[in-house]
Structure 1
Amino acid sequence: MQVFYADQFVLPLPTGHRFPMGKYRLLRDRLAEELPEIRLAQARPATDGELALVHTPAYIQAIADGSVDPKILREIGFPWSQAMAERARRSVGATIAACRTAFEQGVAANIAGGTHHAYPDRGGGFCVFNDAAVAARLMQAERVRTQRAPLRVAVIDLDVHQGNGTARIFRDDPTVFTLSLHGQKNFPFRKEASDLDVDLPDGTGDDAYLHALERALDELAHRFDPGLVIYLAGADPHEGDRLGRLKLTWDGLEARDRRVFDWAWQRGVPLAFAMAGGYGHRLEDTVQVQVNTFAVALAYARRWHNRPR
């Protein structure tokens, strides 16, 4: 299974910053050590033209040269730096590469990504550019150009925080279906309307979560027939997450991942996934949730490899 990364760009964050920047390198090291069938590749940066499929030219330029409105930087939660700008581009590039690879191999991934709070003209919630939205738009453009056929994309967002930026970007687009399961009382406190939102109360555990997910996937299947799935596999629904407020166990999160991958596999739909959020009280717990997701994904990648041609 092909996996793309950009963890060589480390943001110079102040001491005590809430964002666990070290998780990306730890995850890559764990994958290299424990799942040798995964092929790791450095992501290229997204170009201005690719970013402009979603983001305004003025915002793209402001991130590039550091002229970002301080209010927007506060909403993003990162100080501007050249590393911040480059990492944001590479994170989008990794999801683009994962989507292209998924069409060829069935399953592929971005070690980071899932930056679903970014809007066309601003970022927020540790998100600079919206990688899933840019990748979806670019895959649609490439499919029309190469195959002269429309592409319908489902974004299955299982980060604990609602994908407000993604919902706003695609709110009037019938070719992209946005599904979000998230904490009802969690950030962002002003939600956007996804095509399907499932609000979960604080303390939701495995059984209630998985029941809600199954119902949501059934409704997605009833309403939409995608040619590509982009899955945001957030680790932050875990019971040990500082910002999550849900109570999923290791087994519950693994079952969640299996349901999503199986949903795509049963329909023969390629799936690209990104890791989205994870803010465990113990960084090792967040990384373990993510390693478990990759182990599930690898099993489905083997199925794709061995399927009849």
Structure 2
Amino acid sequence: MIPLTFHPVYSQLSLPVRHRFPIEKYQGIYDALCQAGVPDTAFVRPTPVTVEALCAVYQPAYVNALVNGQLDTKAMRRIGFPWSAQLITRSLTAIGGTCLTAANALEHGIALNLTGGYHHAFADVGSGFCLFNDLYLAAKTLQQRPGIDNVLIIDCDVHQGDGTAHLAQDDSSIYTVSLHGEKNFPHQKQQSDIDLGLPKHCTDAEYLDTLDTALHVVARHFSADAVLYDAGVDIHVNDDLGLLDISTAGIRARDEMVIQWCQRRGLPVACVIGGGYQRDIDALVTVHLQLFHAAGVLAPDSYKNIS
């Protein structure tokens, strides 16, 4: 059984009315999976990552200021959330969830977190709804395991994984791939090992061809022991922030391509759901569910009658 990491706190955050972040989607994905017949035994609950673990990888002054509510207003504005103890609990639990998912992927070959992909966070600053970078932390955590020396991060969120790229820029043991919208946030891109910026209104065929090329390049230049995959769905044609024209079927094909590429090479892959910003939560959940179909968690079309 494929382990699915979830905690109700993922969606337990009070935000201002009409806030841009769709906090309800995590609970929505969980509910849809349960309604589709996924048993309770498939879900594992994470514990919050410790402040000590964060400080070992990120700047302690930043970590402690944010956790204790002492970060200045400008820095919180860049993150995009009002500070609250609830925000910290939720964030630490979500990041713990990605680390747990990575550990479970080593044991089961594949594991999925029902949140994650906080790739805009740097060592000393948060940005774009990201407080701490779960992908880089999970990669460094994996490297503490025997036999895991090199970790590949494949980021298919529509927004470049700038924080991840910057954190790993001098770390040859972590290889970063970002397939993103060129004319989109962040305006100042960082240097990943492979950066592929896509034009506005990019369609399925162009997107999938670009991804296929990227995977071929990775296979030639990097010998990975494990993979972290950010399956952001803000590339979808109906996403409010994406600017690309990728269909739901295109997202399923993308996720299948990445997962099958890992499986053919015997690489454990830990998946996070990444971004997605449709205000229609039911529609957004349906798009996110493509990852769970691609991973084999859901049978084809098992969500059709989910409301």
Please give the range of the TM-score, normalised by the shorter of the 2 chains. Answer: over 0.9
Q: CA offset at residue 262 of structure 1?
A: 0.6
Structure 1 residue ranges, 4+ long, deviating more than 3 angstroms after superposition: none
Match of 2:301 in 1: none
- Provide the secondary structure at the position in 1 that maps to 2:9: coil
Contact 1:240–1:282 (8 Å) recurs in 2:
no
Taking the TM superposition and a 5 Å limit, the aligned residue runs for 1:57-136 are 57-136=60-139
Q: CA offset at residue 253 of structure 1?
A: 0.5
Q: Letter of the aligned partner of 1:32 in structure 2? A: C
Q: CA offset at residue 65 of structure 1?
A: 1.1
**Among 248, 251, 269, the residue aligned to 1:250:** 248
Q: Letter of the aligned partner of 1:217 in structure 2? A: L
Structure 2 unaligned spans of 5+:
299-307
Q: CA offset at residue 53 of structure 1?
A: 3.5
Taking the TM superposition and a 5 Å limit, the aligned residue runs for 1:261-272 are 261-272=259-270
Contact 1:159–1:277 (8 Å) recurs in 2:
yes
Q: CA offset at residue 16 of structure 1?
A: 1.1
Match of 1:305 in 2: none
Q: CA offset at residue 150 of structure 1?
A: 5.0
- Provide the secondary structure at the position in 1 that maps to 2:57: coil
**Among 19, 39, 51, the residue aligned to 1:17:** 19
- For residues 93-120 of structure 1, the C-alpha deviation after alignment (integer angstroms, 9 at most, x for no partner) is 0011001110000010110110000000
Contact 1:117–1:166 (8 Å) recurs in 2:
yes
**Among 26, 29, 53, the residue aligned to 2:28:** 26
Aligned mates of 2:162, 2:8 — CA distance in 1: 25
- For residues 33-69 of structure 1, the C-alpha deviation after alignment (integer angstroms, 9 at most, x for no partner) is 2141571122100012221232111111112210012
Aligned mates of 2:119, 2:87 — CA distance in 1: 17
- Paired residue total: 295
Match of 1:307 in 2: none
**Among 213, 216, 222, the residue aligned to 1:215:** 213
Match of 1:8 in 2: 9
Contact 1:53–1:138 (8 Å) recurs in 2:
no
1:260–1:53 CA distance, 2 compared to 1 (3 A): farther
What is the aligned-residue RMSD (CA, Å)?
Answer: 1.4
Aligned mates of 1:241, 1:15 — CA distance in 2: 19
Q: CA offset at residue 7 of structure 1?
A: 3.4
Aligned mates of 1:132, 1:297 — CA distance in 2: 19
- For residues 204-224 of structure 1, the C-alpha deviation after alignment (integer angstroms, 9 at most, x for no partner) is 010000000000000011110
Match of 2:50 in 1: 47
- Provide the secondary structure at the position in 2 that maps to 1:298: coil
- For residues 203-252 of structure 1, the C-alpha deviation after alignment (integer angstroms, 9 at most, x for no partner) is 00100000000000000111101111000000100001000000000110
Contact 1:6–1:87 (8 Å) recurs in 2:
no
Contact 1:111–1:275 (8 Å) recurs in 2:
yes
- Provide the secondary structure at the position in 2 that maps to 1:182: strand
Match of 1:153 in 2: 151
Q: CA offset at residue 281 of structure 1?
A: 4.2
Q: Letter of the aligned partner of 2:111 in structure 1? A: A
Aligned mates of 2:250, 2:4 — CA distance in 1: 24
Q: Pick which of 40-49 and 124-133 moved more.
A: 40-49
Q: TM-score, length-normalised on structure 2?
A: 0.93
Contact 2:204–2:250 (8 Å) recurs in 1:
yes
Contact 2:9–2:93 (8 Å) recurs in 1:
no
1:175–1:71 CA distance, 2 compared to 1 (3 A): same
Q: CA offset at residue 90 of structure 1?
A: 0.7
Contact 1:53–1:137 (8 Å) recurs in 2:
no
Match of 1:306 in 2: none
Q: Letter of the aligned partner of 1:154 in structure 2? A: L
Match of 2:197 in 1: 199
Aligned mates of 1:134, 1:7 — CA distance in 2: 22
Match of 1:288 in 2: 286
Q: Letter of the aligned partner of 2:43 in structure 1? A: L
Q: Letter of the aligned partner of 2:216 in structure 1? A: D
Identity of aligned residues (%): 40
Contact 1:115–1:126 (8 Å) recurs in 2:
yes
